[in-house]
Amino acid sequence: MLATSPQPPATLYGIDFGTSNTVVTCQTGHQTRILPLDDGGIIPSLLYFAKDRPVSIGSSAIHEYGQALHSHRNSSNLYSTFRFFQAIKLALKNPAFSGTRIFGQFWPAESLAGLFLREVKRLADEATGSQVDQVVLGRPVVLGADPTADAALQGRFHKTCLFAGFRAIDFVYEPVGAMLSDGTTYQGKVLVFDFGGGTLDISIASIGNGQVSLLANAGLDLGGYSLNEDLSRARVIGHFGFHGKFRTMTGRYLDMPTWITDQVASFYALPLAELAKTRNAIKDLIPEARAADKPKLKGLLEFIDCNMAFDLFDRIDQAKIRLSDSQTTAIEFAVPPFVQLAESVSRPAFESMIAPRVGAARSLILAALCEAGLQPVDIDRVVRVGGSCRIPAFIRLLEDLFPGRVSAGEAFTSIAAGLIAARQLGLTVHGTNPPA
């Protein structure tokens, strides 16, 4: 029997830390492979906290969160027992968000996201049998409104990686990683349309003879979560008091404060908000609300107290996903006995809701082409990646601009697959990082 050679130790990770999902690749010798962590290598970007227990992430976080909801279903304050976070990356890249309190302890944004990445690193180290402290992290093309703000926010991502246990940290634009997911097999002028959960990012490059010349990069705070929010604002938040009225001390009726009902529309604000302030405001508004609005506000309060955000947001997200294959779907959700919603949504109605987003995506593509000094006809190949790139309205947009030249990459793994190759080609992003 022939002895098999031991696999070289892993020396470097490439991590696509996504708003919705996270994927890890590792370099062993001269090979790069996707690590089969969680569900087929795709880790849901979710974090679960419980008192006196280790944190959990991904599918385990969903499972433990569901068990906790059932076990504590009669509790008057679930947030004192457990917390569940999604879209952590959106909070990390929001300069207005400094952190949140969990069980009486303040957690900076970098530490909260760092806990998630620390668990990702632990799982990766277990899978490879190595202790890897080098990482290439994908990042959106645009983090800040100007170079100074962008560098500062990249610094937050750098601190997050340090908290996770990494010491040598490089950054690569996410669409550049996707472009190199198959090495440099693409030839000619290539445009990558990376449409994920949190951002839309575009890179244009000229590829030939194993060389990559970046011609343009562009990005926008537009992702699948934005589309979910559009759907929620159009069909869901009205069931929780949006457009409602409350009576002032002078007897006048005013519109319900939008920041109250935004708790059902914003897909990451709710778990990170100052919950006591929100709850107290709703309690104060209930007695002064119109009769028709009182049960809606009571439902909103119950929604918050029972930690039901993930369930609702997941139903909205799944409805959006179904509309990529079906002409109609429904969003069904209940907060007994106050709210019972069953909203039918057609694909044309959804496309009407997101039409401004499609227009913004078109403008971003044209701006990137202008920066590269190119016209749509000059592009040889367009590669669309990211979970949101499968939405028909955006597929049509790309086909209209680049007929016959659009192909689908691996929606969830393309970015991670090319991060290490991008680093090897010197395509890293330089920024102002804090010292280790």
Q: Domain ranges in the chain? A: 10-175
Checking if the pLDDT of 6 tops 70, the result is no
What pLDDT, on a 0 to 100 scale, did the predictor assign at position 434? 44
Give the residue-averaged pLDDT of 107-117: 96
| Contacts of range 66-69, beta carbons closer than 8 Å, 24 or more positions apart | 69/306, 69/307
Identify the band that residue 101 occupies on the pLDDT scale cut at 50, 70 and 90: confident
Which parts of 103-210 are beta strand (E)?
105-108, 134-139, 168-173, 188-195, 200-208
- Compute the radius of gyration of the chain from its Cα atoms: 23
And the tokens for 428?
């890293």
What pLDDT, on a 0 to 100 scale, did the predictor assign at position 260? 87
Highest mean pLDDT among 5-14, 297-306, 338-347: 338-347
Single-letter code of the amino acid located at 187: Q
What pLDDT, on a 0 to 100 scale, did the predictor assign at position 187? 83
Give the residue-averaged pLDDT of 63-85: 85
**Which residues, including other chains, have CB under 8 Å from residue 292's CB and lie 6 or more apart?**
244
Give the residue-averaged pLDDT of 211-227: 96
Share of the chain above pLDDT 90, in %: 77
Q: Which residue has the tokens 């300069």?
A: 95
Give the residue-averaged pLDDT of 287-305: 95
Identify the band that residue 180 occupies on the pLDDT scale cut at 50, 70 and 90: very high
Q: Looking at 48-62, 173-187, 216-230, 382-396, which range is the least confident one?
A: 173-187
Q: What is the pLDDT of residues 358-409, one digit of tens each?
A: 999 999 999 999 999 999 999 999 999 999 999 999 999 999 999 999 999 9
91 compared with 214, residue with greater pLDDT: 214
And the tokens for 57?
């992430």
Checking if the pLDDT of 435 tops 70, the result is no
Task: Please provide the average confidence, as pLDDT, over all residues in the chain.
Answer: 92
Q: What are the φ and ψ backbone dihedral angles of 104, each rounded to 5 degrees?
A: 85, -5
Task: Please state, in angstroms and rounded to a whole number, the distance separating the CA atoms of residues 191 and 371.
Answer: 13
What pLDDT, on a 0 to 100 scale, did the predictor assign at position 104? 84
What pLDDT, on a 0 to 100 scale, did the predictor assign at position 360? 99
Q: What is the pLDDT of residues 39-57, one digit of tens each?
A: 889 999 999 999 888 999 9
Q: Is 99 exposed, middle or buried (0-12, 13-18, 19+ CB in 10 A)?
A: middle
What pLDDT, on a 0 to 100 scale, did the predictor assign at position 267? 65
Highest mean pLDDT among 26-35, 175-184, 245-254, 350-359: 350-359
Q: Which residue has the tokens 């996504």?
A: 18
Task: Please state, in angstroms and rounded to a whole number, the distance separating the CA atoms of residues 192 and 177.
Answer: 10
328 compared with 249, residue with greater pLDDT: 328
Share of the chain above pLDDT 70, in %: 94
pTM above 0.95, yes or no: no
What is the H or E stretch that residue 304 is in?
Answer: helix 294-305
Task: Please state, in angstroms and rounded to a whole number, the distance separating the CA atoms of residues 290 and 255.
Answer: 11
Q: How many CB atoms lie within 10 A of CB 355?
A: 12
Q: Which residue has the tokens 């869901």?
A: 236
What pLDDT, on a 0 to 100 scale, did the predictor assign at position 431? 56
Task: Please state, in angstroms and rounded to a whole number, the distance separating the CA atoms of residues 294 and 285.
Answer: 9
Single-letter code of the amino acid located at 265: A
Single-letter code of the amino acid located at 335: V
Q: Are 244 and 296 in contact (CB under 8 A)?
A: yes
Give, in words, the CATH class of 10-175: alpha beta
Identify the band that residue 279 occupies on the pLDDT scale cut at 50, 70 and 90: confident
Q: Looking at 70-79, 80-89, 326-335, 409-418, which range is the least confident one?
A: 70-79
Q: How many CB atoms lie within 10 A of CB 213?
A: 11
Identify the band that residue 4 occupies on the pLDDT scale cut at 50, 70 and 90: very low
Checking if the pLDDT of 414 tops 50, the result is yes
Give the residue-averaged pLDDT of 310-316: 94
